[in-house]
Amino acid sequence: MFRLLAFSVILLLVPRQGANSEYVSVEQTSKLHGIDVSHHQKVIEWDTVAAGWPVDFAFVKATEGHDFVDSLFCQNWSELKRIGVRRGAYHFFRAYGCGDEQATHFLSLVEMEAGDLAPVLDIEVLDGIAPEIMVQEAKIWLETVEKQLGVKPIIYSNQHFFERHLAGHFDEYPLWIARYSDEKPMLNSGKQWDIWQFSNEGCVDGICKKVDLNVFPGTPQTLERLCWYPSSTSQDAVSGNVIP
């Protein structure tokens, strides 16, 4: 089960903003719970996870740099589809690598299906590279993936790194922010986050290692705005129409 750090009092009315969304006032009781995992969590018993505390969405690590593939990505990706949990894939960005090569690497592995969460670019290290070069290459990754899939990727970072190196450069992208606290993030730039990673100490039945815990301050319907659909069905999905 999740040990949720007094989770019931975390959120107030939170305005959401992102490239695939509009401002939405969200009631305190309207929130979705999520986790994110990689090979560090070892083999996960997803049926046990699904039978325990409700997991509304999960992100899984797919790739890193220009050649690393997470050894458990394919298994986690297919298992999440099997058990019916909304899934998303993320790429850990290496600042010393070329953005186009890293984007091509990610796209060659991840097969998106309608309703999956938009791809995530995890940016949290400089790797000894000048910040302006890191920003330039990250933009190439984001633009390449967006052009290929027709959806704006989500940016993940911790609050300190985001405010020091990323704020003002990626305002048009949805933001998944890490801040391990009972108090929701308040960014100096005024940028509104879409997903909050509030702990890296979660205990979940079916996962043998500590796991990151996340919250989306909205409903399944508003989460659709952060999801990918083929261009012919995207408008129906966002508007809530049934897709055959």
What is the DSSP code string of 162-185?
Answer: IIIIITTTSTTS-EEEE--SSSPP
Rg (CA), the chain: 17
Q: What is the pLDDT of residues 146-182, one digit of tens each?
A: 999 999 999 999 999 999 999 999 999 999 999 999 9
Q: Which of 22, 101, 113, 124 is catalytic?
A: 124
Give the percent of the chain with pLDDT over 70.
Answer: 83
Q: Is 27 a catalytic residue?
A: no
Q: What is the mean pLDDT of the chain?
A: 87
14/124: higher pLDDT: 124
Q: In this predicted model, what pLDDT tens digit does every residue of 101-119 receive, in sequence order? A: 999 999 999 999 999 999 9
What domains does the chain contain, in order, with CATH numbers?
29-237 (3.20.20.80)
Structure tokens at 64: 């890193």
Q: What local confidence, expressed as pLDDT, does residue 118 receive? A: 98
pLDDT of 191 above 70: yes
Output the pLDDT for position 166. Answer: 98
